[in-house]
A and B are shown apart, each in its own frame.
Chain A
Amino acid sequence: MNWLNLDLRKILITTALVILPLISMNTQQSPTLGGWYDKPFSFMAGLVESIFFSFSDGVRGTTKMYLDLVDIKKENQSLRAQNKELQTRLLQSDELAKENQRFNALLDFKQKNKMELVAARIMSRDLFSDHATVRIDKGTNQGLKAGMAVITTEGVVGHIFRPETFTSHVLLITDRYSVVDGLINRSRARGIVEGKSPGGLALHYVEKSEDVLKGDVIVTSGLDNIFPKGFPVAVVESVENKAFAVSLKVELRPVVDPDKVEEVFVITDAKEQDLNPPVQKK
């Protein structure tokens, strides 16, 4: 009996569509945690991004080659052919030297540390500008797991939150969902480094009596069991001591600019390494 002449099927479907997001929001333990239903989609996303990554690598190479050729043509008008060829070679070798220097620094860092590291390249970034994540070209096949730290030679980048077979999704420290337990290297004051997309960071829960100055370096405390102790995270940009606030308001700038990173290391075993011995408090 349907006295009100309502389409019960449509009402049921619409109710389900409204309830689904609410159930999902309430049952999800962590915003970055995925369910079993995510697996095939994440795998497919990784595959598609791998294809685009290889393709764009090729396009970039070709574009660079084309631009080099255009440069040579321009120089041809003013210089002799022999000189131009030599200059182009010099440019290329400069580029190679820079690349070599970068790889040497990475190799040096890997050799000097006791930690077990896996080198990876950044393939893609988050689809939404509200979030700061990247995908790297290494996954569970290379021994990567959720919660492993991702760093560069300069400092902390983030941690793996969704590992796939051949790729992994990394939550950058600048993402709103990211928190890192930090210490001010000079004064050893403690605080929680929280992401502020896009690109910023803030240090929370620092007691008002603590000594914090602009330019201080924040390092990892090692207590979160993700990052090794004493690794640079950010630099203090500004400190505000408001009269009625419970703690200091500290704005930070990340040591590593996530937009400029190309290669990263994933720490597969930190071996309890302390990278930066405590500085004596004055």
Chain B
Amino acid sequence: MVQTKFKILNAFVMGLILTICCGFQSSFWFQLTGGAPGPQLWILVLLYLALYRPYLSAMGLIYIFALILKSFSAVPLGILWANLFILVSLTSFIKSRFFWSNTRYFIIASVAFSVAFNLSSYFLSVGLEENAASLSPFTRLAEVMLTGLFSAPMYWFLLKIDHWTLPEVMETQRVGP
């Protein structure tokens, strides 16, 4: 019962962090840099959940968090859910083959996750939408690189959040940078 309360608190805090990350990218970064591509900080939060939560819990949580992402964009919910389903399933599959819990793994995974997100968005758009998205490789590449740059501090921060809000789970999993 106590653990369930901790899990709910953790989910709430993660949702809050995701909202702040989205706000940072869409408003703060935009105001300071204009139209320049920004780091996809929200991807790091979702990746963290995909790596450090059981598959179904992560998927459920990410489906709910997709509503937060949607409120910052014009992206249709169905496309976003389909995209996240592919990504989390892919992450879970790779995680089951090789996984070690440290910063280096998270940086590599964040770059791979970001590339996979951009590719799956593009192909889903081409396959499902009438007026498909353009590939715009330079914008997407810049976003991927910036996401990779921000991944280490974000990983440290998200681990700290888990240590504070899920102490028992973290103790049993023994994860750390």
Contacts and interface: CB of A to CB of B under 8 A. Distances in A.
Interface of A: 10, 13-14, 17-18, 20-26, 28, 31-32, 34-35, 37-38, 41-42, 44-45, 48-49, 51-53, 55-57, 59-60, 123-131, 133, 135, 161, 169, 171, 175-177, 194-198, 259-260
Contacts of B82: 21-22, 25
A208 B71 CA distance: 41
B88 to A, nearest CB: 9
A52 B74 contact: no
B156 interface: no
B24 interface: yes
Given A48-B19, A194-B131, A196-B134, A53 B27 contact: yes
Contacts of A260: 34-35
B6 to A, nearest CB: 22
Closest 5 CB pairs of A and B: A25-B78, A259-B35, A24-B78, A48-B23, A56-B31
29 contacts: A10-B56, A13-B60, A17-B59, A24-B78, A25-B78, A25-B128, A28-B76, A31-B79, A32-B76, A34-B70, A42-B71, A45-B22, A48-B27, A49-B26, A52-B27, A56-B28, A56-B32, A124-B26, A124-B30, A124-B72, A125-B35, A126-B72, A127-B26, A127-B42, A127-B72, A130-B121, A161-B74, A197-B133, A197-B134
Contact of B37 (A57, A129, A133): A129
Contacts of B140: 129
Nearest to B82: A21
A20 B59 CA distance: 12
B63 A125 contact: no
Contacts of A48: 19-20, 22-23, 27
Contacts of A26: 78
A31 B76 CA distance: 5
Interface residues of B, number: 49
B106 to A, nearest CB: 22
A129 B143 contact: yes
Interface of B is mostly: helix
A71 to B, nearest CB: 19
Given A24-B81, A197-B134, A55 B28 contact: yes
B169 interface: no
Contacts of A32: 74, 76
B115 interface: no
Nearest to A194: B131
Contacts of A14: 56
A32 B143 CA distance: 24
B85 interface: yes
Contacts of B30: 124-125
A37 B67 contact: yes
B2 interface: no
A177 B74 contact: yes
A51 to B, nearest CB: 7
A44 B34 CA distance: 23
Contacts of A20: 63, 81
B19 A45 contact: yes
B37 A45 contact: no
Contacts of A24: 76-78, 81
